[in-house]
Structure 1
Amino acid sequence: MGAHFRCPQLGIMLWTAVLCLGVQRADRRFGIWPNSTKMINAIAPHVDRKGEYLASTPEVPVYYLYDKSSRRRWHSLFGMEYKDEKGKYYSGDEAYEAAVGAGKFDVIVLDGLTDPRADDIIASAVRGNPHYRLPAEIPFRDANGTSE
């Protein structure tokens, strides 16, 4: 071993630098996520073990409402398949339109950021649909900006 490995100061300096970079990165990552408290409070009364739900990011309500619902009840915007009462099969954008039009979901949570195209399709299917009402519109702010 060389003389520089015998000096503990070099190891301490390297460890400190890595720690500082890690703390900075962790702080940035923490700031990316918006506060979901208002959203969870708004949808919690409408969630139970029997319903079907659609969310831009279903992981958040699944995590916070695990005691009220199961993961299988939540659907995401990353591809969908739907079969209507007559047995007709839909996939992709048509599946969202058909499922929302038929009132398949008890709660729909859109964030406007995950998949804006799918959000627009779903929002247009909800407009004027007697199965749905808007209980809350919750703007949020994260590291990437503000959503409505």
Structure 2
Amino acid sequence: MGNSAFASDTAKEKRWADQIVDGLIVGDAVWLQADGHKFLGIYAEHETDKPSGAVIVLHGSGVHPDWPDVVLPLRSELPAHGWATLSLQLPVLSNEAEYKEYAPLFAEVPARIKAGIAYLKQNNYQNIVIVAHSMGSSMAAS
């Protein structure tokens, strides 16, 4: 594991963050903190005169906050419809991990979501919703 204080593979999170930040086209990298752990968020400002609010986007298992199949289209298209987006890096495990091995990571998620909400509130968003894909849905409910 990347850090014995966390169940998440924090080294993998850092590797992904390093790769993602360099290639961002839409949005900006923001570094959030939860339980003493720094993690990546990708923030994209709303693009309309009247914002509807902000969406926290949560990815599925084994992927990252800029995953091209589901997360990237959501986080990059919603701003044109009045929604700012904040895509959060959720805890991850090694590529070989099975679904059931993710259970201990669920305890790390509420603090990450709270950090995301705090960031959005600091940016004057009060109407905040969560959109989650795959295991991100289960993690959001934890």
Q: TM-score scaled to structure 2, two decimals?
A: 0.29
The structure richer in strand per residue is 2
Higher RCO structure, 1 or 2 (CA under 8 Å, sep 6+): 2
The structure richer in helix per residue is 1
Q: Look at both structures and tell me which one has the larger radius of gyration over its CA atoms.
A: 1
